[in-house]
Amino acid sequence: MVTIMRSAERLRQSGFEIEQINAPGNTSVEAMEAVARAGATHVEPGHALTGTTVWHAVEELPERPAMIYLSEVAHLHNGRAFVLGGGLYLDQVTPPEQPTRCLFGTSAEALLQHRGRLEQGADLRGIDYYGVVVPEDGQVQVGDSVVFAFRAQVFATRAYVALLAGLESRRPWVVSVLDRSLRPVPGFPPDPPRP
């Protein structure tokens, strides 16, 4: 914010009329008052929309997490599950002592029973063809769904985005499937709307 405000002041001193100061998107409603006091007139919502800012990783905030990364187990080797990549964008938010965890299974009930963790030391700066999951109970099978919750950057992945509705009623349906540029994906028409 200090850099943004200094830049705005320099532009004003150079004769530019500054009517709007847009602050970065790593925000929460908890930060709005402080950002406004600092001089911002607008904020990019960013990860506040999905409840997945860096701040959300360390504190309970009003926004509820509303994004998951869904993959599946492609193969098993030496007690580890190799899950399909393409969207495992993990930044440096999670310290090594708090590994990225996941749920896996073939049903909603199984997902709540079987846990694992993303193997530490995996180089995710390269192309993430696979993520390597170490299951806690060894119950993983090829074809299992794997659910991660982490701070994703859609534009930095090769994963599709599926927008869902009806989750609170436990009758979810696909509203749209988009690519990383948020364009509709050909061949993936949405389900018909449900009441």
Could you tell me the CATH number of the domain that includes residue 110? Answer: 2.40.37.30
111 lies in a domain? yes
Whether 134 and 77 share a structural domain:
yes
Whether 94 and 124 share a structural domain:
yes
Task: Give CA torsion, residues 127, 130, 131, 136, to 10 deg.
Answer: -170
Alpha-carbon distance 103 to 117, whole Å? 9
Q: Please state whether beta strands 115-118 and 22-23 pair in parallel, antiparallel, or not at all (unpaired).
A: unpaired
Whether 140 and 184 share a structural domain:
no
What's the 3-state SS for 59-85? CCCCCCCCCCEEEEEEEEECCEEEEEC
Q: How many domains does the chain have?
A: 3
The pLDDT score that the predictor gives to residue 104 is: 93
What residue spans of 59-180 are helical by DSSP H?
A: 108-111
Domain termination site, one of 58, 80, 96: 58
In the chain, which stretches have pLDDT less than 50?
92-93, 124
The pLDDT score that the predictor gives to residue 127 is: 60
64 lies in a domain? no
Whether 22 and 80 share a structural domain:
no
Domain termination site, one of 28, 58, 88: 58
Whether 52 and 84 share a structural domain:
no
Closest CA to 43 of 63, 56, 26, 60: 26
Whether 30 and 101 share a structural domain:
no
Closest CA to 59 of 31, 80, 78: 31
The pLDDT score that the predictor gives to residue 96 is: 59
3-state helix, strand, coil in the chain (%, to 5): 20, 25, 55
Tokens of 46: 């960013």
Domain that includes residue 144, residue range? 69-153
42 lies in a domain? yes
The DSSP letter of residue 192 is P
Whether 167 and 182 share a structural domain:
yes
The DSSP letter of residue 184 is B
The pLDDT score that the predictor gives to residue 92 is: 47
The pLDDT score that the predictor gives to residue 6 is: 95
The DSSP letter of residue 143 is T
Tokens of 74: 């492609």
Q: In this structure, are residues 76 and 130 in contact, taking their beta carbons and an 8 Å threshold?
A: no
169 lies in a domain? yes
Whether 28 and 94 share a structural domain:
no
Whether 131 and 182 share a structural domain:
no
